[in-house]
Structure 1
Amino acid sequence: MAKLTARGVETAADGLHADGGNLYLKVVGGSRSWVFRWKRDGKVRQIGLGSVKDRSLKEARELAAKLRHALLNGEDPAAVYARLSGKGERIPTFAEAAAMLIEAKRPGWRNAKHAQQWENTLRDYVLPKIGKLTPQAVTVEHVLSVLRPIWTTKAETASRVRQRIEAILDYCAAHGWRDDYNPARWRGRLKALLPEPSKVKRIQHQPALPYVRVAEFYRKLTERPGMAARCLEFILLTACRSGEARGATWREIDFETKLWTIPSERTKTGKEHVVPLSEPALALLRSLPRMEASPYVFFAPRGGMLSDMAMTATIRRMHADDLAAGGQGFLDPASDRIITAHGLRSTFRDWAGETTHHAREVIEHALAHQLKDKAEAAYARGALLAKRRALMDDWARFVTRPAGVVVPLPVREHAKMTS
């Protein structure tokens, strides 16, 4: 095999050109850089050694020789390169690298919501399992330990989690903190180990409580202490998403107009959503303590935002306590699974659609759903606030009614769309 020459480095065509000793010249368009490639566990791995502008052929060969020596001694070339290239005295953990990537990408993201979504999914699913590992230590088995529990039950979330792990590990490889072998990559990696996302990406209905039991659930919820229980009350009374309630700040609440305005960067649709607040919802807000150092309405013990797991844990305790007291627990009869905070939105939707006179577009707008029909969507952007307030007031009366009391509501009429 002919070795590279200084002239050859300058004139080589696009592609990967071997120099020997695991050193390669990578040419892509006008970019020319050095690559160190090796095989481990039957897989080819590589790390970048910098641009030819920054490192001469002689310097690249000297560095490659050191990495080859480390490889023969059983060391990790990526870790050795990070140490030799002065990229810091220590390699960051996966969690630290994730935070660096988010900060690097933040200026280019459409809004703050995108960064928050990254942080939330990493916090809830990834960092507890692999956050303390160095990037090079993350293996396929580690990635699978994150994905398998949610791959079929939360298909959309799982796909995003996989993509984010892959992006973080690519970021680490670009900085020399690990080799180029990415265990989170779909093609050639996880595709052989997990079912296709399209096969599991069917609608996964969140376990929901039958609306006939919602008042019972509400009464037992109000008896429980803790901010997570209060947040669940608010979710139930407003039919909002868990993340919207957990991230609510006092600046978003207007007690005079009785409105909660969720800014566009915190909504799933990317559009501002205004929620009419019923009297029970307002009374709940007025009863809450405030933490001077925290902007959140429903703050965690240290002032940050409550986690989604806090909501889940509260419902699970309620279920267990109800069973222990001789009750039915709080299961979705269709799936026999414990209900979820998100499932309370389905409870509201079933109640509104099956027992009330409120028009479908009003109900869908209350849930901040995007309407597929353009004419209907245009109508929904009109003066629906008063109609949605009436809907939420009806819902609050139904939820907060005393035991044994039936709330009379008009039989639902099939309202025609306004042209």
Structure 2
Amino acid sequence: MKKKLTSRYVDTVTAPGPKRLEVYDQTLPGFGIRVSTSGGKTWFCSPRVNGCIKRIKIGTYPALALSEARDRARELLRDIQLGVAPANKPTTLGEVVPQFIELWAKPRNRGWKEQERLLNQKWVRLFDKSLEDIERSEVVRILDEIVANGTPGRANHALAALKKLLNWCLDRGIIKANPIAGLNPPTKPKARDRILTDAELSALWSTAEDEGYPFGTLTQILVLTGQRRGEVSEMRWSQVDFATATWTIPAERAKNGIAHDVPLSPAVIDILSGMPRFAGSDLVFTTTGTTPVSGFGRAKDRFDQAIGSNDWWFHDLRRTAVSGMARLGVSPHVIEKVLNHKSGIISGVAAVYNRYSYADEKREALEQWAAENLKIKNRASSGRTK
């Protein structure tokens, strides 16, 4: 967030939560104030040193007034422009998180937003600590609290995100040792086997129809195609061929790095044909025209109420589609082709030599699954869904 900082604004600004607020000064680029959810306010500047963005803490407000902090930031930024490196202060976790996201997570991980959210939410209590001073016992204590709150899976994900960050810091020489090297996940990961019942699927579909664009229609396409949420939410109009009723997921957007043709049933074509389009935007699901839709959590809360359960994830819709197609008699190798799986029934040497696309079989499978969803919906309307 950028704003011309004034004494009045600095005195009254608060962090709306759940994350801290960072405001960059329009008067002096690179200078800003960080406001924690507890109300603390810290001045900082963010110059680029040796190709990396470095966060330098200047002081706290009100001990240091706006004019004093801005003058100090101007001095630091000037020194760096002249080639005088700032004092080699210990790097805090809060300073290194944005660097890690920009330099490592974004270029390599399609799920970088989730990593950023986990780091900013679960480890914020350690943000003011030097990386060298983070103790293993502190990390374990935070993980124990996450587990105690009833989200053991979230604790595992939070630990994985922190491990990646600290290993990255170790590789770059920012730290000499990883304080949580070898730390086991707090709980044993459990493979999910959740699928939605016909009654739940019908309730979800009805709510999705009422919800409309973007989350309702997106959810309907998740159900009917069995593709990953990230792939559907990042769909482009240029990838959809209405003439052949095919959606092509390019290799760079597919999770396994393999381009994938998804046959679109008439039900999906009808949904896409009735959707709004942003002028000048190629994104199918967007509220800005420039970025894919986000904020699935709030939409899921509404779907939870309709289903009567919160014990499901959007990814479970993929598993539900797989189970539904298997119930209809679709062969396992065809289902794998629908999912764009690399390994499984067709793997090893067979995968190298079997280049048949199974396009017709995939189309028939997805059309059968779409027809089955219509039957499930009709049975629910007649009061016969179980």
TM-score in terms of structure 1 length = 0.58
- Answering whether residue 108 of structure 2 is matched by residue 114 of structure 1, we say yes
Q: Which has the higher contact order (CA 8 A, sep 6+)?
A: 1
Deviation of residue 124 (structure 1)? 3.3
- Answering whether residue 256 of structure 2 is matched by residue 269 of structure 1, we say yes
Q: Which amino acid aligns with 2:113?
A: N
Deviation of residue 279 (structure 1)? 1.5
Kept in 2, the 8 Å contact 1:211–1:351? The answer is no
Question: Secondary structure of the equivalent of 2:196?
Answer: coil
Q: Which residue of 1 aligns with 2:189?
A: 201
Aligned residue among 178, 181, 184 for 1:186: 181
Relative distance call for 1:358 and 1:208 in structure 2 (3 A) is closer
Unaligned 5+ segments in structure 2 are 1-78, 382-386
- Partners in 1 of 2:197 and 2:379 — Cα distance? 16
- Partners in 1 of 2:90 and 2:238 — Cα distance? 40
Q: Which residue of 2 aligns with 1:311?
A: 296
Deviation of residue 247 (structure 1)? 1.8
- Partners in 2 of 1:144 and 1:249 — Cα distance? 44
Deviation of residue 358 (structure 1)? 1.7
Deviation of residue 390 (structure 1)? 0.8
Kept in 1, the 8 Å contact 2:209–2:217? The answer is yes
Structure showing greater radius of gyration is 1
Kept in 2, the 8 Å contact 1:97–1:168? The answer is no
State the aligned residue count.
292
Relative distance call for 1:131 and 1:86 in structure 2 (3 A) is farther
Comparing 342-351 with 244-253, greater Cα deviation is found at 244-253
Unaligned 5+ segments in structure 1 are 1-82, 107-111, 323-328, 332-336, 407-419
Question: Secondary structure of the equivalent of 1:338?
Answer: coil
Deviation of residue 209 (structure 1)? 0.5
- Partners in 2 of 1:381 and 1:397 — Cα distance? 29
Question: Secondary structure of the equivalent of 1:260?
Answer: strand
Deviation of residue 381 (structure 1)? 3.6
Relative distance call for 1:291 and 1:99 in structure 2 (3 A) is farther
- Answering whether residue 378 of structure 2 is matched by residue 403 of structure 1, we say yes
Kept in 1, the 8 Å contact 2:222–2:232? The answer is yes
Relative distance call for 1:129 and 1:272 in structure 2 (3 A) is same
- Partners in 1 of 2:338 and 2:156 — Cα distance? 23
Kept in 1, the 8 Å contact 2:100–2:168? The answer is yes
- Partners in 1 of 2:304 and 2:355 — Cα distance? 39
Kept in 2, the 8 Å contact 1:365–1:380? The answer is no
Kept in 1, the 8 Å contact 2:196–2:320? The answer is yes
- Partners in 1 of 2:258 and 2:329 — Cα distance? 27
Deviation of residue 340 (structure 1)? 1.5
Deviation of residue 203 (structure 1)? 1.9
Identity %: 20
- Answering whether residue 356 of structure 2 is matched by residue 382 of structure 1, we say yes
TM-score in terms of structure 2 length = 0.62
Q: Which residue of 2 aligns with 1:342?
A: 315
Relative distance call for 1:254 and 1:154 in structure 2 (3 A) is farther
Relative distance call for 1:168 and 1:376 in structure 2 (3 A) is closer
- Partners in 2 of 1:181 and 1:285 — Cα distance? 52
Q: Deviations over 1:269-313 (max 9, x none)?
A: 221111111122122222222234654211145742233xx3343
The 5-angstrom pairing of residues 272-291 of structure 1 reads 272-291=259-278
- Partners in 1 of 2:292 and 2:242 — Cα distance? 22
The 5-angstrom pairing of residues 108-187 of structure 1 reads 114-117=108-111, 119-130=112-123, 133-134=127-128, 136=130, 139=134, 141=138, 145=142, 148=146, 152-153=152-153, 157-158=157-158, 160-170=160-170, 174=174, 180=176, 182-183=178-179, 185-187=180-182
Deviation of residue 172 (structure 1)? 8.0
Kept in 1, the 8 Å contact 2:153–2:189? The answer is no
- Partners in 1 of 2:353 and 2:199 — Cα distance? 31
- Partners in 2 of 1:239 and 1:247 — Cα distance? 15
- Partners in 2 of 1:91 and 1:292 — Cα distance? 48
Question: Secondary structure of the equivalent of 2:257?
Answer: coil
Kept in 2, the 8 Å contact 1:228–1:311? The answer is yes
Deviation of residue 208 (structure 1)? 2.4
Q: Which amino acid aligns with 1:361?
A: H
Q: Which amino acid aligns with 1:245?
A: V
- Answering whether residue 379 of structure 2 is matched by residue 394 of structure 1, we say no
- Partners in 1 of 2:167 and 2:219 — Cα distance? 34
Q: Which amino acid aligns with 1:136?
A: S
What is the root-mean-square deviation of aligned Cα atoms in Å? 4.0
What stretches of structure 1 move > 6 A for 4+ residues in a row? 88-93
Question: Secondary structure of the equivalent of 1:362?
Answer: helix
Kept in 2, the 8 Å contact 1:235–1:241? The answer is yes
Q: Which amino acid aligns with 1:203?
A: A
Q: Which residue of 1 aligns with 2:329?
A: 357
Relative distance call for 1:171 and 1:374 in structure 2 (3 A) is closer
Kept in 1, the 8 Å contact 2:226–2:317? The answer is yes
Q: Deviations over 1:202-251 (max 9, x none)?
A: 4233x321246423421221111441222111111111111111222222
Aligned residue among 248, 255, 264 for 2:242: 255
Relative distance call for 1:92 and 1:116 in structure 2 (3 A) is farther
Aligned residue among 222, 226, 236 for 2:209: 222
Comparing 266-275 with 378-387, greater Cα deviation is found at 378-387
Relative distance call for 1:400 and 1:240 in structure 2 (3 A) is same
Kept in 1, the 8 Å contact 2:234–2:283? The answer is yes
Q: Deviations over 1:100-131 (max 9, x none)?
A: 3455458xxxxx872433x2232332224446
- Partners in 2 of 1:379 and 1:212 — Cα distance? 42
- Partners in 2 of 1:384 and 1:210 — Cα distance? 28
Q: Which residue of 2 aligns with 1:370?
A: 342
